[in-house]
Amino acid sequence: MRCFAGASSALDFSSPSLLFSHRIRCRRQLEVIGRRLVMNSVSSQARSRESGGCDDGVVTEEEWRRWGAVSPLPAAVKQIVNDLKVLELKVDAQIEFGGNGGKLQGAFGAYEDKKHRATYEALDDPEKKFRFFSARQVACRLLGSRGYLCQKCWLAMEDCMCSNVKPCGLWKRIRFWLYMHPRDFLRQNNTGKLLWQVFGVHSASLCIFGIAEDEEVMWDEFKHAGKSHVRCLYPNQNSELTLSVENAFGDSTSENPGSSMGDEDSTLHFILLDGTWNNSAAMLKRLKDHAKTVWGDEDLPCISLTTGASAMHKLRPQPSWDRTCTAAAAIGLLSELSLLPQLSSHGLDKQADAVEEALVVLLDSLTGRRLRMGRSITRKVRNPISIC
């Protein structure tokens, strides 16, 4: 008699006691095997939950939305993720991320680098090259962050700050658009993410620079609102099209969008450029080019704030002390809008305070991580420069 393959055929079961003890041993072994199978199943399910309910190598719509997106899963991003997983099997080397910027590492990284450069060079259209660059940046960040970063706050799991962020409703006649450079997507010290953590993704929406689906969703909203209800925050005070908040919305005439913001169809859309100062010029140019396509005029109205240095200057260098982070720009805008008589009753100052509190929470989380890792928490001094 055999209970499983591999049992010795030389065992003598003529004695009832030997037969009974052998059955007990078999039963115990089967119970151990059963428990291991259950534990493996539970562990697999836990890993799936940590990665946003995604299967290995497949980016799902659910996973994409969990990172803060409001657009459909970008087709180019999905394709690149699939290509990377196929390449992983082909070269028989695991995908690894690490080093400065979390780049692809090892044998796989070297092989993939040559392959993606060849793909990029083969594209003859600059727009296709740009979209490929953006999609690859996003795809690599999605794969490299699975099971490591919290999908809400974009911090390492052990530093998750979600429980300390207090949600707050944004006045319904304002909508923020975080126009984010792909290299800032899923960066732990990014501050733009705080806006949808506080206000929700439909009041502060992510749009990644160069991702077709994201830009389409954003511009569809702009077309519906009309050019007069779209403003871009950009600190270019030398431009004739850049106005202060008071000059842009302080006039109570009917032609001013600020005078009719209580109407049902008068949502004012604010674009926040979420990227490095060097990248912001290219991002603004793309917005203007699209504005010309939509409205026949590339003069996209811009707003300049009087906001000073952000608390994030302590950890994250800026070109000069008068520059500020994305969250601080939103705080400054809401604060200045709250001072306008026609908008003073909408609690914009309280909404600004909610973002500022979240910014402090982020700063504390990042500072704690740096201290734990033995890294400096002081900002490097840079010579003041002007990029405008």
Which pair of tokens denotes residue 105? Answer: 């590492």
What's the pLDDT at 243? 84
Q: What is the mean pLDDT of residues 303-328?
A: 64
What's the pLDDT at 90? 86
Q: What is the mean pLDDT of residues 272-291?
A: 92
- Report the alpha-carbon distance of residue 310 to residue 196 in Å, rounded: 19
Q: Are 232 and 271 in contact (CB under 8 A)?
A: yes
pLDDT band at 324 (very low <50, low <70, confident <90, very high): confident
Look at residue 208 and tell me whether its pLDDT is greater than 80.
Answer: yes
For 186-207, what is each residue's pLDDT tens digit? 999 999 999 999 999 999 999 9
For 144-176, what is each residue's pLDDT tens digit? 999 999 999 999 999 999 999 999 999 999 999
pLDDT band at 64 (very low <50, low <70, confident <90, very high): very high
> 10 Å Cβ neighbour count for 137?
22
Which pair of tokens denotes residue 92? Answer: 């028989």
**How distant, in Å, are the alpha carbons of 160, 202, 242, 358, 370 from that of 163?**
8, 21, 38, 11, 20
* Secondary structure of the chain as H, E, C letters: CCCCCCCCCCCCCCCHHHHHHHHHHHHHHHHHHHHHHHHHHHHHHHHHHHCCCCCCCCCCHHHHHHCCCCCCCCHHHHHHHHHHHHHHHHHCCCCCEECCCCEECHHHHHHHHHHHHHHHHHCCCHHHHHHHHHHHHHHHHHHHHCCCECCCCCCEHHHCCHHHCCCCCCCCCEEEEEEECHHHCCCCCCCCHHHHHHHCCCCEEEEECCCHHHHHHHHHHHHHHCHHHEEEECCCCCCCCEECHHHHHCCCCCCCHHHHCCCCCCCEEEEEEECCHHHHHHHHHHHHHHHHHHHCCCCCCEECCCCCCCHHHHCCCCCCCCCCCHHHHHHHHHHHHHCCHHHCCCCHHHHHHHHHHHHHHHHHHHHHHHHHCCCCCCCCCCCCCCCC
pTM above 0.75, yes or no: yes
Which pair of tokens denotes residue 273? Answer: 């450029």
Q: What is the mean pLDDT of residues 64-91?
A: 93
Task: Report percent pLDDT > 70 for the chain.
Answer: 71
Residue with tokens 């037969």: 19
Q: Are 208 and 182 in contact (CB under 8 A)?
A: yes
Query: In sequence order, which residues have a C-beta less than 8 Å from that of residue 11 and are 6 or more positions away?
Result: 18, 22
How high is the mean pLDDT of the chain? 81
Nearest to 316 by CA among 267, 257, 274, 269: 274
| Residue 2 zone, left/alpha/beta (φ > 0; ψ -120 to 50; rest) | beta
Q: Which of 111-120, 282-291, 314-323 has the lowest mean pLDDT?
A: 314-323
Query: In sequence order, which residues have a C-beta less than 8 Å from that of residue 298 and are 6 or more positions away?
Result: 288, 289, 291, 292
Look at residue 19 and tell me whether its pLDDT is greater than 60.
Answer: no
Q: Is 96 exposed, middle or buried (0-12, 13-18, 19+ CB in 10 A)?
A: middle
